[in-house]
Amino acid sequence: MAGKIKKRVLLINPPFYKLMNSHFNGLTLGLSYIAAVVSKNGHEVKIYNADYKSDKKYADLRKIFEEYDNYKKILSDLKHPLWLEIKENIKRYSPDVVGITMLTGTYKSAVNVGRIVKEINKDITMVVGGTHPTVLPEETIKNKCFDYVVRGEGEYTFLDIVNGKKPENIKGLTYINKDKQVVNNPDREFIEDLDSLPFPSRELYLNIDHHMDYGYIMTGRGCPFECTFCASKKMWKKHTRFRSPQNVVKEVKETNKKFGTTFFYFVDDTFTMNKKRSKEICKLLIKNNLDITWICDTRVDTLDEELAYLMKKAGCVRVKLGVESGCERILKMTKKNITKKQIKNAVSLMKKAGIETTAYLMIGFPTETKNEAQETLAFAGEIDSDYYSLSILAPYPGTEIYDDVIKNGIKLPKKHWEYFFHQSKDMILADNIDEKLVDKCLALNEINGKIRK
């Protein structure tokens, strides 16, 4: 720390599911990586998950849909006990710098927290990063509660801010200069060697207990695919990088030893994107004879029989598959480049290997008809997945669908970003999708009293 002033840093995940009477107890990996880098460089750091609740049981999708009006009400009431609790926790820590992560759906929640920070002390440096600020940095920085917007990967851009580097010399930064002009500095280069990063901090979280889910692990960053409903292209510019299998398994072992974690979630968009590497991870997990179970997200066209059996032997208990639609026209429109036959084959392959599946489904695409949405429901029954997860299409900024909606003059149901998430009833763009159809989709999750996830 020679020549640098040690700072007190607070990294905040704003409330979202708590606004809908649920919560999120997993690692906020972006903040956890930033915390690890900033702490390693001599600063005092804590992570505050304002969406945490001392409860292992999460609300099911139906309850989240039902709490939507409550969500909107709490967002608009800064005197609600939730915001007062957040204010008290921030005051108690008394930070010099606050960093907050923002998705499109958490836009207003993040702004609320930013306002609270500035009410506590206007001299606290307030930084925001995440997918939404990366895609819309100029709009985001115009919120007076934010001093800086971090675009893209945040570890070293945020560290530069904390270290007191002049803003004009920080890559990946957006800010307002003395002339009140928005400045977008050049992009920061991607971190090519992900193994060079310290493991994300799990021990720096505030106000947590034994209900914390420590097993969230990222094994790669970026995505090469073209899905029209995803903003990954804008965030990662189709550039993919991977951690080595040895580095991944080392983190699994360390987390298992330090925290007693036996359940892990590999949160990559496509865990099996590189099948050879995925097989190596599985072989190392098997070799180390770890008594763990795990789940992952992936695509139906990145699996094979050898990989499926290795995953099962390595402890995989469930794979979450991006099915999206049961209508071939809609599948083509998403540019996901998968077919219904591939989807059926993937589910069948997992079942044969003894691994459960979750099918991610979406309805509400622009131009989607009621019959096409019902075709998705019928197809869901055909593939007989173990679990289903329903989303209403949200045209997130940065996605091709959002650009098409704007270009074609389609009127968005709501203009405010807090309505842009997958369980928002205000986001239905297709004229023939109604709440009765949404209810039928939710019913897929409820069989014999068992809530499907």
Does a structural domain hold residue 202? no
Q: Does 301 share its domain with 405? A: yes
- Structural domains in the chain (count): 2
Quick check: is 198 in a domain?
no
CB 317 within 8 A of CB 355: yes
In a domain, 88, yes or no: yes
Same domain, 256 and 174: no
DSSP H or E segment with residue 12: strand 8-13
Task: List pLDDT tens digits, range 227-247.
Answer: 998 888 888 888 899 999 999
Residues 404, 330, single domain; the answer is yes
Q: d(Cα 398, Cα 375) in Å, to the nearest integer?
A: 28
CATH assignment at residue 255: 3.20.20.70
Place of tokens 């009765």: 436
Residue 201 located in a structural domain: no
Q: Work out the pLDDT band at 444, boundaries 50, 70, 90.
A: low
Count CB neighbours of 408 within 10 A: 9
Same domain for 178 and 97: yes
In terms of domains, do 369 and 319 share one? yes
Do 166 and 264 lie in a common domain?
Answer: no
Say if 303 falls within a structural domain: yes
What's residue 341's pLDDT? 95
Residue 132 to residues 102, 210, 235, 377: CA-CA distances in angstroms? 6, 31, 9, 31
Inside any domain, residue 328: yes
What does the alpha-carbon distance between residue 69 and residue 48 come to, in Å, rounded to a whole number? 26
Give yes or no for a contact between 322 and 342, defined as CB atoms under 8 angstroms apart. Answer: no
DSSP output for 204-267 = -BSS--TT-B--EE--EE------TT--HHHHHTT--EE--HHHHHHHHHHHHHHH---EEEE-
Of 117, 115, 144, the residue nearest 9 (C-alpha): 117
Cα 166 from chain centroid? Answer: 30
- If asked whether residues 228 and 345 sit together in one domain, one would say yes
pLDDT, one tens digit per residue, over 244-265 is: 999 999 999 999 999 999 999 9
Residue 14, Cβ density class (10 Å: 0-12 exposed, 13-18 middle, ≥19 buried): buried
pLDDT at site 126: 98
State which of 143, 169, 184 marks the end of a domain: 184
Place of tokens 């440096």: 125
Q: Which two tokens stand for residue 249?
A: 């398994």
2-6, 60-64, 366-370, 388-392, range with the lowest pLDDT: 2-6
CA distances (Å), origin 288, targets 1, 253, 260, 318:
38, 9, 16, 21
Instruction: Assess whether 247 and 311 both reside in one domain.
Output: yes
pLDDT band, very low/low/confident/very high, at 449 (cuts 50, 70, 90) = very low
Tell me the one-letter amino acid at 107.
Answer: Y
| DSSP β-ladder status, 241-242 and 182-184 | unpaired
Q: Are residues 27 and 161 in the same domain?
A: yes
- Average pLDDT in the chain: 90
Which residues contact residue 151 at a Cβ distance below 8 angstroms, ignoring those fewer than 6 apart?
129, 133, 134, 137, 157, 172, 173, 174, 184, 187, 188
Per DSSP, helices labelled H in 59-154 are 61-66, 68-75, 81-93, 107-120, 131-135, 137-141
Do 46 and 174 fall within a single domain?
Answer: yes
Are 128 and 221 contained in the same domain? no
Residue 204 forms part of a structural domain: no
CATH number at residue 81: 3.40.50.2300
3-state secondary structure of 429: coil
- Tens-place pLDDT, residues 350-367: 999 999 999 999 888 888
User: Looking at residues 56-77, what average pLDDT do you find?
Assistant: 82
The residues pairing with 175 across neighbouring beta strands, listed in sequence order, are 183
Of 35-44, 122-131, 380-389, the one with minimum mean pLDDT is: 380-389
At 325, the pLDDT band (50, 70, 90 cuts) reads very high
Round to whole Å and give the CA distance between 353 and 163: 51
Query: Does residue 159 sit in the same domain as residue 231?
Result: no
* 58 in any annotated domain: yes
For 28, the domain range is: 8-184
Which of 4-8, 198-202, 313-317, 420-424 is predicted least confidently?
Answer: 420-424
Q: Is the pTM of this model over 0.85?
A: yes
Q: How confident is the model over 377-393, as a mean pLDDT?
A: 87
H or E stretch covering 442: helix 435-443
Greater confidence (131 vs 237) lies with: 131
> What value does the mean pLDDT take over residues 88-108?
95
Q: Which of 133, 162, 184 is the last residue of a domain?
A: 184
| Residue 214 and residue 256 in contact, taking contact as beta carbons nearer than 8 Å | no
Cα Rg of the chain (Å, integer): 22
